[in-house]
A and B are shown apart, each in its own frame.
Chain A
Amino acid sequence: PHAGPVESKNEAAMSELVPEPRQKPVVPMKPVGINANLLGYIGIDTIIEQMRKKTMKTGFDFNIMVVGQSGLGKSTLVNTLFKSQVSRKSSGWNREEKIPKTVEIKAIGHVIEEGGVKMKLTVIDTPGFGDQINNENCWEPIEKYINEQYEKFLKEEVNIARKKRIPDTRVHCCLYFISPTGHSLRPLDLEFMKHLSKVVNIIPVIAKADTMTLEEKTEFKQRVRKELEVNGIEFYPQKEFDEDLEDKTENDKIRQESMPFAVVGSDKEYQVNGKRVLGRKTPWGIIEVENLTHCEFALLRDFVIRTHLQDLKEVTHNIHYETYRAKRLNDNGGLPPMTVETEENHESNL
């Protein structure tokens, strides 16, 4: 730590000495210079604190989409994930209401706060997916919606007078709900994931997993993983975006063992062993949602929210969005060149 000179503290004139805005490290780290030899502490590592403070002030956006046939527990799961009524459960279609002809896209946003961190969470529901008699191309409205958000962002980004913070409505994560048949993936599942895994981060989850025993669960998961691999479907976390060895080992374990997460959702609490837990009450017992021996909800929650939330956003921004942008600009003849006079080929600008 830098030596505050002993004399200064004794002098009354130094009463204007500013209070230290940062915490000095308890044990001064011996800095290792790469090019330059550092003697003593400078304070470069305080930039972490500065950055943290700034991001907490601006807050975060997160947009999560849920896709799956009705009745698979999508809304319940999202509400369980975010411990609040972020998604309104649909009561199903009664005879008077007409089943919508196509997939609807419903985006509802809320602001939630935890630990001083403000998050604007938008849940995008897709009622009607897979519910019609003829479900061919039912992913198209979804793909259209996702691309529309990229388009919105792109339009803002190319403005001359840009907003300080471009509102981010892009879908960061798409939870795809697989029906717990216990057999294999349906053609609809494969078609959807094949098309959409190229434009958005897809996290497949096995819904209503309390209908399967442990052995059935393990076998089903293995079969699903195999089928996804055979069909060339890259779900999140995608292998090609592992940044370093640390990421790779961590993500490999998730990809090859944990995913797809077999989950159960609930917004009701019950008393178990003296504690109040979220669960589902059945005649044969209470299924505890956050109990890892009962289902993998906690794994999904930790994965999506506690460890990979920022990464989901970054992959969306740095890869999916960039892919969309590049394709869009290419199709459109590219951006006009920076200088009209020189015809040297900036391959980028033409």
Chain B
Amino acid sequence: QNDGYRTLSLSGNVGFGSLPDQLVKKSIKQGFCFNILCIGETGSGKSTLINSLFNTDFDDPVSTHFLPSVRLRAQTYELQESNVLLKLTIVNTVGFGDQLNKEDSYQPIVDYIDAQFEAYLQEELKIKRSLFSYHDTRIHVCLYFISPTGHSLKTLDLLTMKSLDSKVNIIPIIGKADSISKTELQKFKNKIMSELVSNGVQIYQFPTDDETVSNSNTIMNGHLPFAVVGSTEEVKIGNKMVRARQYPWGIVQVENENHCDFVKLREMLICTNMEDLREQTHARHYELYRRCRLEEMGFRDIGPENKPVSLQEAYEAKRHEFYLELQRKEEEMRQQFVQRVKEKEAILKEAEQQMQTKFEHRMLMHQEVKLKLEKKKKVLEDEIAMFIEKKANAELVQSQASVSTPVVSLKRDKDRK
């Protein structure tokens, strides 16, 4: 651990024993983030449990069973206790397990978790970045609510947990545990744990490397999955008001460790391991995501001859690749453009041709009609000529007949004229 450094002993008080305090002071100033994801079927008691855990009413509206797909709903709250400011984000799955076809039930959840990792990765890769003021939205713990059937895990449970176990810390919980009797409960727990093991699902293990908490953590690991009961109502027991659920046959007290594991869950989740959950998310799950993502993009730490690739080379290579890609795209676009121009030209030419033919056709028609009309005109003119001739003849006949009476005919001539 000392990497070959000599250990020196101090001859007096130096003062760096206050270093953890300095660190803590800074962290308090910055505040803390904690993000919980609750997965469970509608009505499995998620919201009630969260309300009970944080002793408050988070005002989460009840959802229906008839949603067409699984959605995630995230809400952020600011909680303060003494001088600690906590930005708590609770993400709920809405509509989980309600659809007839549940094939795609877990995909939106996986996508959501990945999206938070992606956002962090993007920030980390920026040139000008501000990680220390970044609001961390990565999911630190996933509370998976198992239905208290008393038998075993559902296929959906196994599928979902398997798809999430390398991305998030999973703590399995049996919700609404007051419907199971104590003997059934232990059998149920054992069945669940053995099913998880046999299916290779990796759930979160409370850390056992620190002596002060390893004892309690080991014991707690043995109590998984926690069978919890939540309640937002209070009942008077003795002379105190406690959270409880009142039945005709008795009162289930949420904080009674005999009745359910609520206290254990709260202890483990908040008081003992909150920091470890955050650290595991960052050091393990996020690193895995980052590694896969960077490899996806073609980054390598080791070059083709098994020699470590220097930063410079990697960037140059990538940049060169990108540049080539850009050029290729540009060429492609240019080709496409040329192609389109050709096509358009062809279309226009054809149209022009068509127009031309039409025009010629029209001209022809015009000629024909013109000829016809001229013929008609000729015919009519002939008729007019004939008519005038006839008229002249008729007048001649008239004037010859009216010679005998000159006075009267003169007058008639005048009238006629």
- A residues touching B (Cβ–Cβ < 8 Å)? 2-8, 11, 13-14, 16-19, 21-22, 25, 29, 31-48, 50-57, 60, 62, 81-86, 109-117, 119-120, 154-155, 158-162, 164, 243-244, 278, 301-302, 305-311, 314, 318, 322, 325-326, 329-330, 332-338, 340, 343, 346-349
Contact = CB atoms under 8 A, between A and B. Distances in A.
Given A38-B55, A45-B84, A329-B127, A6 B238 contact: yes
Contacts of A6: 238
B18 A306 contact: yes
Contacts of A31: 79-82
A346 B122 CA distance: 10
Given A34-B80, A38-B81, A322-B129, A51 B275 contact: yes
Interface stretch (B147-155, B192-200, B263-271, B377-385): B263-271
B318 A318 contact: no
Per DSSP, chain A at the interface is loop
B64 interface: no
Contact of A309 (B19, B242, B294): B19
Count class of interface residues, chain B: 35 or more
A161 B203 CA distance: 23
A60 B271 contact: no
Contacts of A329: 127
Contact of A161 (B267, B291, B312): B291
Interface string B285-308: 001001100110101110000000
A71 B161 CA distance: 66
A310 B11 contact: no
A38 B55 CA distance: 6
A318 to B, nearest CB: 5
Contacts of B10: 82-84, 112-114
A301 B321 CA distance: 53
Interface in B1-43: 2-3, 5-29, 32
Nearest to A81: B14
B135 interface: no
14 contacts: A2-B266, A5-B257, A14-B258, A18-B220, A18-B264, A45-B81, A50-B273, A53-B210, A55-B20, A111-B6, A114-B10, A329-B127, A337-B322, A348-B122
B275 A117 contact: no
Contacts of B21: 52
B270 A160 contact: no
A223 B55 CA distance: 60
B126 interface: yes
Nearest to A110: B8
A154 B127 CA distance: 12
A110 B6 contact: yes
A43 to B, nearest CB: 4
Contact of B77 (A13, A35, A47, A346): A35
Contacts of B273: 50
Contacts of A81: 14
Nearest to B30: A243
Interface centre among A16, A115, A307 (most CB of B within 10 A): A115
Which A-B residue pairs are the 8 nearest by beta carbons? A115-B17, A336-B318, A348-B126, A50-B275, A310-B22, A43-B271, A306-B15, A18-B216
A80 to B, nearest CB: 9
Contacts of B18: 306-307
B255 A333 contact: no
B20 A52 contact: yes
Given A81-B14, A158-B311, A326-B127, A21 B83 contact: no
A8 B270 CA distance: 22
Given A34-B78, A48-B28, 9 more contacts: A31-B81, A38-B56, A42-B53, A44-B84, A47-B32, A84-B8, A305-B16, A322-B128, A343-B326
A16 B220 CA distance: 10
Nearest to B124: A157
Contact of B15 (A35, A158, A301, A338): A301
A38 B54 contact: yes
Contacts of A32: 80
Interface centre among A51, A322, A325 (most CB of B within 10 A): A51
A305 B13 CA distance: 11
Interface string B224-245: 0000000000000110101000
Interface in B53-94: 53-58, 77-84, 86
Contact of A50 (B26, B237, B255, B276): B276
Contacts of B397: none
B295 A160 contact: yes
A298 to B, nearest CB: 10
A301 B15 CA distance: 8
B299 A314 contact: no
B258 A7 contact: yes
A51 B236 CA distance: 37
Contact of A338 (B122, B129, B131, B255): B122
A330 B127 contact: yes
B270 A114 contact: no
A37 B258 contact: no
A336 B319 contact: yes
A312 to B, nearest CB: 10
B365 interface: no
Contact of B81 (A44, A51, A119, A330): A44
A123 to B, nearest CB: 11
B21 to A, nearest CB: 8
Nearest to B311: A155
Interface string B250-286: 0001011110000110110011111110010001000
Interface string B145-174: 000000000000000000000000000000
B270 A44 contact: yes
Interface string B123-141: 0011111011000000000
B217 to A, nearest CB: 9
A33 B79 contact: yes
Given A83-B14, A348-B128, A335 B32 contact: no
B16 to A, nearest CB: 5
A326 B131 CA distance: 13
A21 B79 contact: no
B7 A18 contact: no
B132 A318 contact: yes
A311 B22 contact: yes
A234 to B, nearest CB: 20
B79 A38 contact: yes
B215 interface: yes
Given A40-B55, A110-B7, A160-B301, A21 B127 contact: no
B240 A3 contact: yes
B322 A34 contact: no
Contacts of B55: 38-42
A340 to B, nearest CB: 6
